[in-house]
Every structure is written in C-alpha cells, then in structure tokens.
Homo-oligomer: A and B are copies of this chain.
Amino acid sequence: MTAILKTVAPTLQIGSARVPQSADGRLHAASALAVLGLTQAAGWARQDWESPHWAAFEHTHQLSRVLSDFGAGPEPTLSVAEFVALAARSDTTPARRIQRRMQQSYARALTGDIHLAAEIAERNAEPLSRSWLHARLESQDARRTLMSAAARHGGHGPVFGQLGSVSNRSVLGKDSATLRRERGVKHTRDGLSTDELRRLSYLDAATAAALEGGQIEGNDAILELHRKVARRERQTWAGGLERAS
C-alpha cells in the first residue's frame, strides 16, 4: 500500500474559475479581480500594489490591506465578502454574470431549494459538517414530532414554548437567550454542537414516544412527563454519574 499525500493549494470555485485562497480563506486579489474583468486593478494587485493607483483603488472600495504569500512573496488579498461587494457594484460583463448568479442563488435560497442546500454542503470541506447538518435537521423534525404528540394529548397554548424551554435548559444547562449571547449567534441552533443537537432530538423523541404509549392528557401532565424524561436523559448522558434531582 502506498500512502497518498497530495497537497493541493486551496482555491475557491467561482463559476468556472478557481481563485487561489490563503490559509485563512482570503482570495488572491489579482486573480479575483481578473475574474471580475477588472483587468487594470488586477495588474496593479499583481505587480504594482505599492503604487498610489492600488492605494486609491483600495480606498475607493474600502478594502483592508491584508497581504499573503501565495509563493511569489507578499501579495494583496480580498475577503470573500469584499469580492462579492466588488462584484455587486462593478459594471463589467463578468461582474454582471456574477450579479445574475447572485440573484439566482438568493431566489433559490428564499424558496428552500434543496439542490442549492446540497451544493453548499458539498462545498464544505470540514468532515464533521455533514453530521452537524444531519443532526440539526433531525432535531427540527424531533421537535415537530414532540409538538404534534403534545397537541394530540390535549396540550395547548403555553405548553409548546415550555416544552422547548425544558429541552433546551436540560441539555444546554441554560436558556436560549444566554446561549445565543455566550456563543455569539443569532439563532440558537447555529450555536449548538452536533452532540447537543443529538441529545435534543433524542429527548424530544423520547417524550413523544412516551406520550403516544401512555394515558397522559393536558398541559401539566405533559410537562411533568417531559421533565422526568429530561432528568433521565441527563443521567444517561453523564454515564449514570449524575444523581436524579
């Protein structure tokens, strides 16, 4: 058996072009500008980035100067956000093509195009990102299952929000608002680890299953059951080390 070691320089695929990326994900400015058809600026970025021309270009487009070495000494880079902003405001044929693609992509995102979701997930090279994606979608399904089970067992009004709070507080050890603040995310789910999502799915599914199998009816009884299941789940997760409270 031969070990296969292939070091491929990272690139970002933009349409049919591949733009070299630095280790921290910034784009090689000269290549990125060439993709936008901004040939003069691309020339400055490649050979003349210490000139006043390039400085003026940076100033006009509010670009921060971050240099990176792609093998030929330090060269200017663009963040992906800077590249996209430039594409949006440039009036060249290739930039207009990217603008159309940007609009198509946004329309597809708005309508929940599952092919687009797949394309984006496939672009993610992080091996664990797919488990995270699966766990997140699963947790949404499990939460829905719990809510319909509760509704079928006489749950109404406040119980739906409370069930979610019990789950979150039990698994995360804090309420959602605190978690969002601590982890710096806008939506709670974006801040959860794969294991936390799995535990939430499991807990919600376990209560839903227990509801379906029993005679429980009404908000109070549903919540009591869910708190009991949550306590057990915490013990299981802790390997039996945590004492039921």
**Cβ contacts under 8 Å, A110 to chain B:** 12-14, 80, 84, 123
**Given A103-B81, A117-B120, A125-B112; A2-B152 close (CB under 8 Å):** yes
**Given A118-B137, A121-B117; A84-B112 close (CB under 8 Å):** no
Nearest residue, chain B, Cβ from A115: B190
Is A129 an interface residue, CB under 8 A from the partner?
yes
Interface residues on A, range: 35 or more
Other contacts beyond A114-B132, A117-B120: 11, CB < 8 A:
A84-B107, A85-B103, A108-B120, A109-B109, A111-B123, A112-B123, A113-B120, A114-B129, A117-B117, A120-B120, A130-B141
Q: How far is the CA of A148 from the CA of B4 in the complex (A)?
A: 9
Q: Are A133 and B152 in contact (CB under 8 A)?
A: no
Nearest residue, chain B, Cβ from A104: B81
Is A106 an interface residue, CB under 8 A from the partner?
yes
Nearest residue, chain B, Cβ from A135: B118
**Cβ contacts under 8 Å, A104 to chain B:** 81
Q: How far is the CA of A141 from the CA of B118 in the complex (A)?
A: 13
Is A140 an interface residue, CB under 8 A from the partner?
yes
Nearest residue, chain B, Cβ from A140: B122
Interface centre among A85, A107, A109, A125 (most CB of B within 10 A): A109
Is A159 an interface residue, CB under 8 A from the partner?
no
**Given A4-B148, A152-B2; A122-B118 close (CB under 8 Å):** no
**Cβ contacts under 8 Å, A141 to chain B:** 130
Nearest residue, chain B, Cβ from A130: B137
Residue of B106, B115, B122, B152 touching A84 (CB-CB under 8 A):
B106
Is A151 an interface residue, CB under 8 A from the partner?
yes
